Chains A and B, each alone.
Chain A
């Protein structure tokens, strides 16, 4: 008798259910609920210090929620093996790139292949150079150290490192911070292009509204440790939420107090 396994393609790849996280008396997350479906790009917006990075770190298993649960592919990250599995199936682009200074660009890109998948150096380098080409970097840059690259190039290397293992979900932490508008737009284009090419889901956090409009299918607004609005990117300008409106229009006056 054959057993067929039916996989629901619309089942969430990532779910955060009532996630709380506090640092001492500072309650950063107060019940965050997020669902990410395969192939969709969710962008989380919110003011400085509202817990966007903490949300991503909880989703990646880099921080353990005080309450609530994170599920990847339906499995709770409370299980160590589920965390390992989630990390194998995700990629992450860190805000500052987080490239390893002591390694060359290609070794950074091929890190997961070399040290996790134990692929030979020649094959790993070949794949790294192919992936670097996808983010418009050549073999010449592959031999450099990260410190020898510009900020935009470092972001592209970090993107190449995030996509080389063909993840099902990619996290982007402020992917355009510190870049000029033209370079930022180029990085946004690359993110959209590569995420679509992989058919992966994406979760991004950013303050950059141009970035939001370019890379998001859906937008969620995080405020005071909770998601207070979520909707398609097309509804961003007609959200009906004074918080979203203030944030989108970048006004100091409104329900959100500037983080001064």
Chain B
């Protein structure tokens, strides 16, 4: 009798409840990390081993890269313009207004270009991928792929990850250019900078490493954006509600990972002198 009731008494212990809750949460988080890791490993393996469906990769490059140009371009121009104004205001406190072009180009190429382009794509692309794949999951299209001997990670996920990894760096290069031009427009138009001088200062200050560090970051962000979209879409269930939830989780997951990864990559670049 005592033996039979002892475990029940333990499980009812109110003092154990917070620990059980913490334990359950940690285990759930670890399970999720494990699932994402296994999923990512399978997809990344499919990205670098044959067969690669080139037609699908190109189709996704168009969808993910080309169609994201307007949103990335608009973000870059406004951020460049606002950055120039802020640096001018801040710089004027210690007579350093002339550094506006230098700090604008440094901020855009190393930080704001890749991070903001990444965040914009997390919203536009990650959600889109999660919704599309989630809809395919709930309408049995992914089961249909399997019955036709096509592996989803090869036919659906790898082309999206490859396309995002390849096109986000290109988008960032464009965003860098447009962002600098945004700063230029404000500096020349409202802050009485000489246009030629602004561009000369920008060009002489920026280094290949500044641009390269942003481009490398963008490659990682692109992979994260597509992987999160594919993962959440693949796991979605329960009809329209499930698809919506997958899209939300994909955006939140991709955004948080981009910001965390940005810090980690920046630390590494500082260490290696990039």
Contacts and interface: CB of A to CB of B under 8 A. Distances in A.
Interface of A: 57, 60-62, 84, 87-88, 90-92, 94-96, 98-101, 111-112, 115-116, 161
B140 A115 contact: no
Contacts of B271: none
Contact of B147 (A90, A100, A115): A90
Interface of B: 53, 135-136, 139-141, 143-150, 155
A62 B146 contact: yes
A96 B139 contact: yes
B268 to A, nearest CB: 38
A115 B144 CA distance: 13
B56 to A, nearest CB: 9
B144 A98 contact: yes
A258 B251 CA distance: 42
Contacts of A87: 146-149
Contact of A92 (B53, B144, B150, B155): B144
Contacts of B148: 87, 111-112, 115-116, 161
Nearest to A60: B147
Nearest to A173: B140
Contacts of A112: 148-149
A42 B6 CA distance: 54
A217 to B, nearest CB: 23
Contacts of B146: 60-62, 87
A98 B144 CA distance: 6
3 smallest CB-CB distances across A and B, nearest first, come from A98-B144, A98-B140, A116-B149
A116 B150 contact: yes
A180 to B, nearest CB: 22
A42 B65 CA distance: 49
Given A88-B149, A115-B155, A100 B144 contact: yes
A111 B140 contact: no
Contacts of B143: 57, 60, 62, 94, 98
A161 B145 CA distance: 11
B150 A115 contact: yes
